[in-house]
Structure 1
């Protein structure tokens, strides 16, 4: 696989829903639209913090599982160093994983 194709593959995070391929971005947009709909006139508060809490942790959990607990491999897949990975795992309560 060429470097260009690898880059495209990494950028094209795709999820399957109802037989269609939808980019992760579309899922995030839909979730945010649903969030605003569910407010029923209430003001949103600290939306940025909410999004970070909800979106940042799952990749660490999924990648660590994919890497079968191998932190060096997980850090490489995520494109971060092992120290950052360990800090984030502790932050998310995944340090014992």
Structure 2
């Protein structure tokens, strides 16, 4: 299914069944999941801390993932908030709040 098809009203996709299997193939030909990428990024982040105290890691990770997610979904749906909220499983009011939070609205 093309991005254009999804953006044109069909929000029920096979991707919904494989939501936890977001993946890509790297330059070595290996399959890398989104989860793998996040895990590597977090390991690198903690290694760079070198024992320094840190707080609010949960919020840091959420904001680092949520902002580009919202940005890409809005592009994918051509800024249609109704389609984007359905795609994300959020109500439209929550989507608008998050878009404002990240300066995307």
Smaller-chain TM-score bracket: 0.7 to 0.9
Determine the structure 2 residue equivalent to 1:64.
Answer: 74
Alignment TM-score, normalising by the size of structure 2: 0.76
The 1:27–1:61 alpha-carbon spacing in structure 2 relative to 1, beyond 3 Å, is: same
Cα distance in 1 for partners of 2:16, 2:80 equals: 23
Q: Under a length normalisation based on structure 1, what TM-score does the superposition of the two structures give?
A: 0.81
Alpha-carbon distance in structure 2 between the residues aligned to 1:22 and 1:35: 19
* Pair 1:16-2:62 in alignment: no
Q: Which deviations, in whole Å up to 9, do the C-alpha atoms of 1:14-46 show, x marking residues without a partner?
A: 133223221111111101100011112312222
* Equivalent pairs, count: 92
Structure 1 unpaired stretches of 5+:
none
Q: Which structure would you say has the larger RCO, counting Cα contacts within 8 Å and 6 or more residues apart?
A: 2
Aligned partners of 1:60, 1:7: CA distance in 2, in Å?
17
